[in-house]
Amino acid sequence: MSTPPPSTSERRKQFPFDAFEPKWQAAWEKANAFHTPNPGDADFDASKPKYFVLDMFPYPSGQGLHVGHPEGYTATDIIGRYKRMTGHNVLHPMGWDAFGLPAEQYAIKTGTHPRATTEANIANFKKQLNSLGFAYDWAREVNTTDPGYFKWTQWIFLQLYNSYVNDEGKARPIAELEAQGLSHEEIDARRLAYVSSAPVNWCPELGTVLANEEVVDGKSEVGGFPVERRPMRQWMLRITAFAQRLIDELDGLDWPESIKLLQRNWIGRSEGAEVKFKVAGLEETITVFTTRPDTLFGATYMVLAPEHRLVDELVSEEQIAAVELYREKTARKSDLERTELAKEKSGVFTGAYAINPVNEEKIPIWIADYVLMGYGTGAIMAVPAHDERDFEFAKMFHLPINQVVQPPEGHDWQGYTDAGTAVNSGFLDGLPTPEAKAKITAWLEEKGLGKGTINFKLRDWLFSRQRYWGEPFPIVWEDGQHRCIPESELPLLPPDLADFKPTGTPEPPLSKATDWVRYSETATRELNTMPQWAGSCWYYLRYCDAQNSERFVSEAAERYWMGGGKPGGVDLYVGGTEHAVLHLLYARFWHKVLFDLGFVSTPEPFQRLVNQGLIMGEDGQKMSKSRGNVVNPDDVVSEYGADSLRLYEMFMGPLEQVKPWSMKGVEGVYRFLGRVWRLVLETNQEGEWTLSPQLKDVPAEKKVNKVLHETIKKCGEDIEKLSFNTAISQMMICTNAFTQAEVRPVRAIATFLTVLSPFAPHIAEELQAVIRQHFPEVAQPGFIADQTWPSYDPAALIEDEIEIVVQVNGKLRDRITVARDAPKDEVEKLALASERAQEFMEGKTPKKVIVVPGKLVNIVV
């Protein structure tokens, strides 16, 4: 008969983490151990430097934490605890990005108010986070759905609404324009928050519009529902006015180059020129944008976006029917169809002709859906010889293809899109592409036919949603005009609704709250709400002064926590790559507006950014409920303890890397912590933990002392580099050295525990308390979390004798032991004398001998 192996929980625990972890968590809470004072507080120490370490705050979902959350959170907790120990004032807060669709959809299904769902989820998240021993100052907790918070989100919206961008590209109060006597319409057209009725991404299933960024392959990013284009009146934020600064000011930030590149590509700056083409027989001109003005002589036709406003005017009698049909067809197409089915180009001739300004040639004007209304001018000059898309289109519709660029040797000119030399281009002939560009641009400007221009892919940010569970806009409408409500009416709370269902039309759910909607006899409230991104655009600022009811953050707190002389205020920001463009771009945009208006002191929010890698399931696949490979942190904590979970998350591999979970790996670090525990305690006959008799207050032997000081040094350096996995390896080496020593030097072990404490704070506190009890003269008073990071003794690292590698022709042949300070020629002599080396020198005389002090000797024969 065989019995199943006992599960870990039935097995005797290697150390009683289930008792001491909650004990220390309670003790920290009771002592308010991680309270972070602000400038002006009685217990604030202005002499210390600040360190602001931030996690991307979570959306408190009903599922609770998954093991991906504690990865970044543990990393920042280690850094935060380490910085405290090295004499910094540390701001390490946590909060909730709690507006959003899931709570609203749950409300639709069950009738539970999103506020109730959100509160319950937050309570659960908070309990889970606390069970992991994170050193947060909960007095600074931030919740985007709290009226005390979104009052200021609405307030920032008012700043955007009441600002414009001046000629220097800086946000300025709209009052300046009023002072210049601009009309209401002119002013509205320049606000950073403005109303537009351009086509938007409407998702019928979700009952809301979505930002371009929230649409993936023509489907909603959330839920994967179809999205269609339709014109609607929407709030937009003028992020495009900051496009250049959002590119340029990346330079001063310590971000991964790949993330900077992602943002630059998203913003998509391109330099080129606008060229005006006359329409034959009409008093109209069409302006095109091109990055290759040097190929103007090769423009053999022109294409307008089907939605272009001039199409109606220039279409010929015979072509009206075909053009109308084509326009209807594209209007019905979603973006998905428009791009996915791009294998085959399509288009229709308008019957009209344009005049190429450079050679007066008549070229046909087509419409085609490969030209997008939203980019450039919505019209292009087609140079099929040197543009892939135009080339394909021209072949399909048998349009002329004229060479105007001579490629370098070995390239076919047809479809050649890189730089070369201008040919068949009149006065440009013989010029290399860059010079030809410059010359034609100057020529166009001189003749008034065009000008050099810069275009961006970035579009303005669609900022309104037809949802209930979001910040209402502090805006009212009267006589078809919008105006903001006074600051004194903030926060504007959402109405209490019992019915959350979408109306089935683009009318937002807030329209159902008729009393709320009525602002006055003649004015009604804006019915849209803000997108989820709004709250996360500035939460890091609120952490600096979370309770302030007078201001979104006090000047003193902002200047202290966000200051420091670098462009970015937050010293370290850790989160997933999924926010590499959207959240980080939006937050940077808001921050720059607040900076221009004088509300914050730095031009950038986040100085150093680190993206933690995804944690995969044990099967190497992405964790998902359907695959059944999800690991619940609660289970890990109950089986192995919080310290084991923290340590394993950091030991798996480099923080930035994608890596698979392994329960065996958790067991490995759990065993390591067991070894640490048994350095101090052992079990007696009754199974109780008693002090290890090997523990003595004696100096550590030289070898052990060396390992200890190496560990202090390496762990400090590795924490700064966020290289936690190698720091943990070193602590394992150190523990192994202690374990193997005859006696356990208690002072050295106490020092080791302080090094371990940022990683595994509970066991470190517990063992320090045990040591203090038995060796009161050894241990420091108070929490280990409040202790000073030990300094290492460089002298302890030095060995009297070192091993030197002897190579012959780069191959390892022998090792010799020499005195640490042996002179170079002495080492060389010893190496040459090596029997093994001589064997491989085969009696030849060395051509060259390379001596690397302390490392090796290479004999070249």
Neighbouring CB atoms inside 10 A of 408's CB total 10
Please list every residue from 707 through 746 that binds RNA, using CB under 7 A: 723, 725-726, 728-729, 732-733, 736, 739-740
Residue 172 engages RNA in binding (rule: CB under 7 A) = no
Residue 126 engages RNA in binding (rule: CB under 7 A) = no
Q: Which C-beta is closer to RNA: that of 30 or that of 847?
A: 847
Residue 855 engages RNA in binding (rule: CB under 7 A) = yes
Residue 4 engages RNA in binding (rule: CB under 7 A) = no
In one-letter notation, the amino acid at residue 291 is T
Gap between the Cα atoms of 692 and 683, Å rounded: 9
Residue from 4, 6, 776, 794 touching RNA (CB under 7 A): that is: 6
Angle between helices 724-740 and 642-651 in degrees, nearest 10: 120
Minimum CB distance to RNA, residue 522 (Å)? 42
Minimum CB distance to RNA, residue 270 (Å)? 3
Minimum CB distance to RNA, residue 812 (Å)? 5
Minimum CB distance to RNA, residue 725 (Å)? 5
Residue 810 engages RNA in binding (rule: CB under 7 A) = yes
Q: Which C-beta is closer to RNA: that of 1 or that of 42?
A: 1
Instruction: Return the structure tokens found at 484.
Output: 């903001």
Residue 807 engages RNA in binding (rule: CB under 7 A) = yes
| Spatial contact of 362 and 281, defined as CB atoms under 8 Å apart | no
Residue 621 engages RNA in binding (rule: CB under 7 A) = no
Residue 838 engages RNA in binding (rule: CB under 7 A) = no
Please list every residue from 432 through 461 that binds RNA, using CB under 7 A: 455, 457
Rounded (10°) CA dihedral 209, 329, 285, 290:
70
Alpha carbon 228 to chain centroid, angstroms: 29
Kindly indicate which of the ranges 17-25, 107-115, 169-177, 267-275 contains the residues binding RNA, using the contact rule CB under 7 A: 267-275
Residue 690 engages RNA in binding (rule: CB under 7 A) = no
Residue 306 engages RNA in binding (rule: CB under 7 A) = no
Please list every residue from 273 through 292 that binds RNA, using CB under 7 A: 289-292
Residue 752 engages RNA in binding (rule: CB under 7 A) = no
Residue 654 engages RNA in binding (rule: CB under 7 A) = yes
Please list every residue from 510 through 569 that binds RNA, using CB under 7 A: none
Q: Which residues contact 380 (CB under 8 A, 6 or more apart)?
A: 288, 289, 290, 302, 303, 371, 390
SS (H, E, C) 35-47: CCCCCCCCCCCCC
Please list every residue from 670 through 689 that binds RNA, using CB under 7 A: 671-672, 674-675, 678
Please list every residue from 317 through 346 that binds RNA, using CB under 7 A: 338-339, 341-342, 345
Size of the site for RNA (CB under 7 A): 86
Gap between the Cα atoms of 2 and 748, Å rounded: 46
Minimum CB distance to RNA, residue 21 (Å)? 19
Gap between the Cα atoms of 550 and 307, Å rounded: 48
**Tokens 């004999």 map to which residue?**
859
Residue 828 engages RNA in binding (rule: CB under 7 A) = no
Answer positive or negative: Cα dihedral of 314, 319, 324, 330: negative
Please list every residue from 239 through 258 that binds RNA, using CB under 7 A: 257-258
Gap between the Cα atoms of 754 and 708, Å rounded: 12
Minimum CB distance to RNA, residue 488 (Å)? 41
Gap between the Cα atoms of 698 and 114, Å rounded: 61
3-state secondary structure of 422: strand
Kindly indicate which of the ranges 73-81, 179-187, 654-662, 765-773 contains the residues binding RNA, using the contact rule CB under 7 A: 654-662
Residue 64 engages RNA in binding (rule: CB under 7 A) = no
**Closest by Cα among 188, 99, 157 to 473:** 157
Residue from 657, 773, 788, 817 touching RNA (CB under 7 A): that is: 657
Minimum CB distance to RNA, residue 392 (Å)? 7
CA distances 725 to 650, 654, 673, Å, are 6, 6, 15
Please list every residue from 558 through 617 that binds RNA, using CB under 7 A: 577, 581
Residue 270 engages RNA in binding (rule: CB under 7 A) = yes
Minimum CB distance to RNA, residue 81 (Å)? 21
| Spatial contact of 145 and 97, defined as CB atoms under 8 Å apart | no
**Closest by Cα among 70, 83, 75 to 128:** 70
**Tokens 């030399």 map to which residue?**
421
Residue from 9, 11, 400, 505 touching RNA (CB under 7 A): that is: 11
Q: Using only C-alpha atoms, what is the Rg of the chain?
A: 34
| Spatial contact of 746 and 679, defined as CB atoms under 8 Å apart | no
In one-letter notation, the amino acid at residue 99 is F
Residue 819 engages RNA in binding (rule: CB under 7 A) = no
Q: Which C-beta is closer to RNA: that of 172 or that of 459?
A: 459
Return the beta strands (E) in 76-125 as ranges: 89-91, 95-96
Residue from 652, 746, 753, 841 touching RNA (CB under 7 A): that is: 652
CA angle 771, 773, 778 (to 5 degrees): 50
Residue 305 engages RNA in binding (rule: CB under 7 A) = yes
Gap between the Cα atoms of 508 and 495, Å rounded: 13
Residue 813 engages RNA in binding (rule: CB under 7 A) = yes
Q: Which C-beta is closer to RNA: that of 202 or that of 648?
A: 648
Minimum CB distance to RNA, residue 408 (Å)? 15
Gap between the Cα atoms of 277 and 253, Å rounded: 43
